[in-house]
Every structure is written in structure tokens, then in C-alpha cells.
Structure 1
Amino acid sequence: MDPQDVDLTAPFGPVLLPNPLVTAAGCGGTGRELARFVPLDALGAVTTRTVMPEPRAGHPAPRAVAVPAGVLTALGLPGPGIDAFVEHELPWLAERGARVVVSVAGQRIEEFATLAARLGGLPGVVGLELNIGGPAHADLGLVFAANPAISYDLVRAVRRAAPADLPVYAKLAPDVLSITDIAAACVQAGADGLSMINTLPGLEIDPVTLRPALAAGPGGLSGPAVRPVALRCVHQVRAAMLAGRVPEVPVLGMGGIRTGRDALAFAAAGASAFAVGSALLHDPTAPLRILDELRTELAARGLAAFTDAVGLAHRTDPPRGPR
């Protein structure tokens, strides 16, 4: 099979993406930085940096440090706030044909709901991603995704505030007692899909000062080091869906994806689309390469469409390898 004949279209809930590759929240900047290397309309979707109700400076520098097989960051959700985002950033993205998933966060449930109401019906917006499980909230005591009841209340409030035709995706944290319980609560509250996973909390010590390497102390770990954890979470939640313990919705898988083979692994685990994050920091052209590699991986296995690979790891028939 010619790799160029492989169909990469990816139904993700009510949205049909031209391909399953999405940028992870914040890793493409405002879009202007990434657009110098990749046409934004060539991506399945662009996830924005997390937007909050008011401007936020974030944490002081240093905010990022390289660690073995990944990067540790503590940005503190910096940004200009919703007013500046709607006035300046969103129109620029829409003009370039980007399908935009807006990452939102707040210090209270009511703030999430207010942001959802504000973003409904705006040009280019194809979904909201609720940043409910990020380590950046820890300094505020607000890791919403650690508790099923709180997760339910938050998603329910957003679903009621957002227009019915605006998909809402809950972004889950991996460091919880039961990610399937959190997933079930979010979907039962009305989430149209799940994003998995957020970064893992971690700490690095500067070898010279023997103090935390990040100004904020702890940070969020991303990169290849987290990929097995992310795959486990996606596989576990997909298995719970198949068993009827979690209502079935699309999963956006992410965590250390750097190659087409990585992306294929997430699809097999149960992801209907995938997000690329830290790979963009050292190779902003990575999305086009990953899509080409994914086509090759699918064609080598005789899979004519990306959707044919979704959930393969859960099947009981003989496994399919490269031909």
C-alpha cells in the first residue's frame, strides 16, 4: 500500500479533523511561533496556551530545565487573559484556517464556566479543553482532577454554560488514585471527550546550588519519560469504556509523542487523536514528519485509515505487524 493513500481523517466526537495530530496546550505558543515552520491549517487542530479570566504573569525564571528523557517546566499559566485572547490571538488563528481548541483554567469552578460561555460561537473554535489537572494549579490548592466529585461539578458547570454545539474535553492528571473514576465522573457530567494526560509532577535539583532548579520548586514533567505512563492511562480508560464502566467518548492521547510509531501506539491503546507537545520545543517541524511516519506505519500494516488502528491493543484476534 502506498502511504500517501492512507486516510488520516479523524472523527473526534462531533468534529471531523483532517488528520489526528493536535498540538498540546501551550507548546505551540500563540500559534505565531509555530506558523513560521508549519501551516496551521495542515494540523488537525491547534490547542492554545491555557487562557484564564485575568492576565497572569506566571512564575519567575527559571521556568524550564532539561532532565533525562524530558523537560521539567513550571510556567505558572502566564497569559494576557480572556479579553486580550479574544481580541488579538483568536482572530489571527482563525484567519489562518486553524481549527482551535482553547485550553481554559480558573481558580474557581465559576471561572471555568464564565470562560466557556465567552468562547462559544467564536470563529475557528472547535472545542474547549478544561485544564483541570495541571501541576500549575498546585500552588493555588486547585488540582480539580484529583477528586471525582469536584471534577463532576466543574465539567457540569462548564457544560451548562457552553453552547450545546461546542465540544468540551476534560484534561486528566495521571497522578490520581483512580483515573477511570475521574474519567467516568467527567463524562457523566457531560464531557464530550477526554485529553490524557497532563504532565507528571516532578522536581530537579541544581547540581551547583543544590537547590530546586526551577524557581517555583516542583514542575510538570513532559517528554519521552512520561510516554509509558500516558499509554497506560489511555489503555486503562479505553478498557473501562469497553467494559461499560466509563461512557464511551473520544480520547485525545498525549505524552512523549515524537514519532509516527509513538502516535500509532496511542491509537492502538484507544486514542482517537493525539497531541504533540515537547517535541515542538526542539523540532517545530515535527508535526509534518510525524504525520508522514504515521502514514508509513499504517501502510506497512495494511491499514487503509487511521481509524482502523484505534483500539487495536484491545482486540483478541492475532496481532497485526508490519508486512
Structure 2
Amino acid sequence: MPAGTELPAAVSCDPADVDLSVTLGRLRLPNPVLVASGTFGYAREMASLVDLGRLGGILPKTVTATPREGNAPWRTVETPAGMLNAIGLDNDGADAFLLHHLPYLASVGAPIVVSVAGRTHEEFVGLTRRFAEADPAIRPAAVELNLSCPNVSGGVDFGSDPSRCEAVVREAVAAADLPVLAKLTPNVTSIPVMARAAEAGGADAITLINTVLGMGVDWRKRRPLLANVVGGLSGPAIKPIALRCVWQASQAVRTPIVGVGGVATIDDTMEFLVAGASAVQLGTVNFYRPTAAAAVLEALPAALASLGAKRVADVVGTLATDT
């Protein structure tokens, strides 16, 4: 919202009249509440706790072209208001994912957004094409390019170099007719520069943020707590950073933004929406309160209605920053 624009007085409406559907480029979702890659397993693990079909979208663990064992332990460390992880994208590879996991995911009733990571442009493009060419019965709704994992060699190269980011997004978009989301890192000098690169490449949406680079230390042993030494900080501790990144990107691009980073409650969700996100992903909270996404979804219509909004888009980017 331009500085100086006055918001109309909020007139509460009936929560039952609120339309929760959102559109992210070519991707249409039933609601803006998604669960983030790497925090929800392959959804089977959560099926007894969450009505999976109600979610706006599910992002299973990031998939790579070939199996990865990930980093050596310890790979996770609890921190005040969050956690550090250096998992290293351990997964069974694309073949196993297509054979064993995607058929189940396709049956749960929620849109599936497959997170992919590659060491090269060709791997990102090849993975995107493979999922676009999957059997229509299991074809995902979209692909999210994980351009920003800090825990693997070269993991942030595509998300920290604007020219490489633009090129890999453009090639992935051109390779398939699936919507493409670009997940970016906060560990850069300028969020607007990277967001504009993803937009120039044709991304349907930009996901902000991935984890913030950090480390833990055992001072008594004088050793790092993570075998990888450094890892990605996530959880409530990074929410202010994520909000800042979402707001900065929303001022720089017209491409829809998916906010992620410390989202755990309805208040968090609404903060991201008014800051400029069109949807959110809940991540670390799934480890300690796996029903959080369902609770947010339950509370969302009333929260939107309290602002007089009849659809999610009515509140997106309405943050008034003038004094």
C-alpha cells in the first residue's frame, strides 16, 4: 500500500461469507494455509492428527535427482524460540518419490507442491519436467524450486546470484506447464534484487524465507553442536526477519509471495498477509504442534471478517507504513 494511503474503517462481516481461495500465478489453492517442506514428512506421518484434505497445500520433503544420505549427526539442535538444522536434504531420490510417495500424496485431497533441489540448472529443470510429465493421476499441482538450502554444498548459489536465479527459474518455467514457485534465502544482501530476479524468470510465486544461517556451540567441549558446524535457524525466532523480507519483496515485485518463517498461529498468519504475503507455510511448529495448521485454518475466516474482508486478497499488502 502506498505511503499516505488511509485504510477504510474495518466493518466486520460474516465469517461464513469469506472466500478463502487464493491464486498464485497459475496455481489456485482452496485456502492460503500450507505446510512447509521438510517439516511435514510425506504427510503419512500426520494423517492421524490432521485432516490433510483441508489444507491449502502440502509440501513434502525436498526431492533430489538421486538419493542423498544427508549430513552426519548431530543434524538438529534446539535453540531458544527455534531450532537449528543441517539435515542436508536427505531423501530417497526422485524415482522412489514418484513410485512410493507421490501416489499416496495425490490421494489425500490437498494440492501437492513438490519441492525440488538440484546441483545444476539441468537438475532443477529435469526434475520440474519429470513431475510435469508424471501420470495425470498423481501429477502435483506445482513445483517449488528450493534455491536456498544452506546445509548442502552450493545450496544457496542459485538463490544468492540474481543472474543464476533468473536463469534457472526461466528454464524450469519453460520446461513444463506446471506452476513454479521460487523459494529464496534471507542470507543475501538484497531481498528485492533476488525477488525481482525470480519474477523476471517467470515464477508464479516467490516463497520467503528459507532458514537463517546460524550455529550452536558447546563451550565446555569447545565444539560446534552440529556436525556440519553451521545450519539453518527456523521457528519463531526468525519471524521478524521473514516479515521484513516479505514486506520488502512485496514492495519490489507484483508476483505473489508465500510467507514462511515462524508462522505458528492465526496472528502470525494475519501479520504475513497484511505485510504482503498471499499465502503462508507453517514449518517448525509442525514438530511440536502438528495441529497448528488446522487451528489457523479454523480461525482464519473470523480473522479476515473482523477486518471487513470477504476474501484473502482484500487484506494482502494492506500494511500502512506511513506515520
* Same fold by TM-score greater than 0.5: yes
**Any idea what the Cα deviations from partners look like across 1:115-151, whole Å, max 9, x if unmatched?**
01100043241111111111023x3475221110111
1:66 aligns with 2:39: no
Deviation at 1:177, TM superposition (A): 1.4
**Any idea what the Cα deviations from partners look like across 1:171-204, whole Å, max 9, x if unmatched?**
0111111111111111111211100001000001
What does residue 161 of structure 2 align with? 147
Amino acid at match of 1:85: F
Match of 2:22 among 10, 21, 35: 10
**Any idea what the Cα deviations from partners look like across 1:48-79, whole Å, max 9, x if unmatched?**
11100000000122111110111100000000
What does residue 38 of structure 2 align with? 26
- TM normalised by structure 1 equals 0.91
Deviation at 1:14, TM superposition (A): 1.9
Q: Distance in 2 between matches of 1:100 and 1:302?
A: 31
Amino acid at match of 1:262: D
Amino acid at match of 1:306: V
Q: Distance in 1 between matches of 2:48 and 2:231?
A: 29
Q: Distance in 1 between matches of 2:56 and 2:35?
A: 8
Q: Where does 1:23-172 land on structure 2 (aligned, <5 Å)?
A: 23-122=35-134, 123-137=138-152, 139-140=153-154, 142-163=156-177, 166-172=178-184
What does residue 201 of structure 1 align with? 213
Q: Distance in 2 between matches of 1:98 and 1:44?
A: 6
What does residue 245 of structure 1 align with? none
Match of 1:288 among 271, 294, 297: 294
What does residue 304 of structure 2 align with? 298
Deviation at 1:6, TM superposition (A): 2.8
Report the secondary structure of 1:135's partner residue: coil
Q: Distance in 2 between matches of 1:41 and 1:124?
A: 16
Amino acid at match of 1:133: S
Amino acid at match of 1:103: S
Percent of aligned pairs sharing the same letter: 43
Pairs aligned (count): 308
What does residue 244 of structure 2 align with? 232
**Any idea what the Cα deviations from partners look like across 1:278-321, whole Å, max 9, x if unmatched?**
010001111111122333322332323222111111587x9xxx
Amino acid at match of 1:69: A
Report the secondary structure of 2:221's partner residue: coil
Query: What is the RMSD of the two structures over their aligned residues, measured on CA atoms?
Result: 1.7
Q: Distance in 2 between matches of 1:152 and 1:305?
A: 31
Q: Distance in 1 between matches of 2:107 and 2:321?
A: 42
Amino acid at match of 1:55: P
Structure 2: gaps spanning 5 or more residues: 1-12
Amino acid at match of 1:153: A
The answer (yes or no) to whether the contact 2:131–2:139 under 8 Å persists in 1 is no
Q: Would the alpha carbon gap of residues 285 and 142 (structure 1) be closer, same or farther in structure 2, given more than 3 Å must change?
A: closer
Q: Distance in 2 between matches of 1:101 and 1:151?
A: 20
Q: Where does 1:212-223 land on structure 2 (aligned, <5 Å)?
A: 212-223=224-235
- State the structure with bigger RCO (CA 8 A, min sep 6), 1 or 2: 2
Deviation at 1:35, TM superposition (A): 1.6
Deviates more, 1:28-37 or 1:117-126: 117-126
Deviation at 1:208, TM superposition (A): 4.1
Report the secondary structure of 2:40's partner residue: coil
**Any idea what the Cα deviations from partners look like across 1:3-53, whole Å, max 9, x if unmatched?**
344322222222221110111111100111122211221100001111000
Deviates more, 1:273-282 or 1:30-39: 30-39
Amino acid at match of 2:257: V
- TM normalised by structure 2 equals 0.91
What does residue 260 of structure 2 align with? 254
Structure 1: gaps spanning 5 or more residues: 242-247, 319-323
What does residue 276 of structure 1 align with? 282
